[in-house]
Structure 1
Amino acid sequence: MPFANYKLPQDSLTTAQKEDLIHKTTDLLVGLFGEVVRPNTMVLIEEVKDGGYGRADEVFVLPDEYRAKG
């Protein structure tokens, strides 16, 4: 069973964009492993709250211009 896990900043994608990401990821995995995996492919999108992630001692907060509209 293929499993893809995305961790994204909260509010960075709309519901429609998340659905598109799930469909495209499923299609990618089906392209690699064959149609037999489609019914068992899991795509999980986890949203991380502002301040809940960082790199090299820098805590990230998503700027308003990058937040999903809609």
Structure 2
Amino acid sequence: MPFANIKVPEAALSGAQKEEIVQRVTDMFAHYFSEAARPHTMVLIEEVKDGGYGRAGEVFRIPEGHRAAD
């Protein structure tokens, strides 16, 4: 079973954007592994709380104006 685990900052994506990611990743797996993989494909989008991740030693926080509206 193909499985994708995508981690994104909390509130960075709208519900529609997450739905599109699930569809596109599923399409990609079906393209590479054949259509037989489609019904068994799992895509998990995990939202990480603001301030719960970082890069290069710096904690990352999303500016208020960059949050997705659902």
Deviation at 1:63, TM superposition (A): 1.1
Instruction: Look up the match of 2:61.
Output: 61
Taking the aligned partners of 2:66 and 2:44, their CA distance within structure 1 comes to 21
Q: Deviations over 1:9-66 (max 9, x none)?
A: 0000111111110000000110001000001000000000011000121000011222
Instruction: State the Cα RMSD in Å.
Output: 0.7
Unaligned runs of 5+ in 2: none
Unaligned runs of 5+ in 1: none
Q: TM-score, normalised by structure 2?
A: 0.95
Deviation at 1:5, TM superposition (A): 0.5
Instruction: Look up the match of 2:20.
Output: 20
Percent of aligned pairs sharing the same letter? 57
Q: How does 1:28-67 map to 2 (within 5 A)?
A: 28-67=28-67
Taking the aligned partners of 1:56 and 1:15, their CA distance within structure 2 comes to 29
> How many aligned positions are there?
70
Q: TM-score, normalised by structure 1?
A: 0.95
Taking the aligned partners of 1:65 and 1:30, their CA distance within structure 2 comes to 36
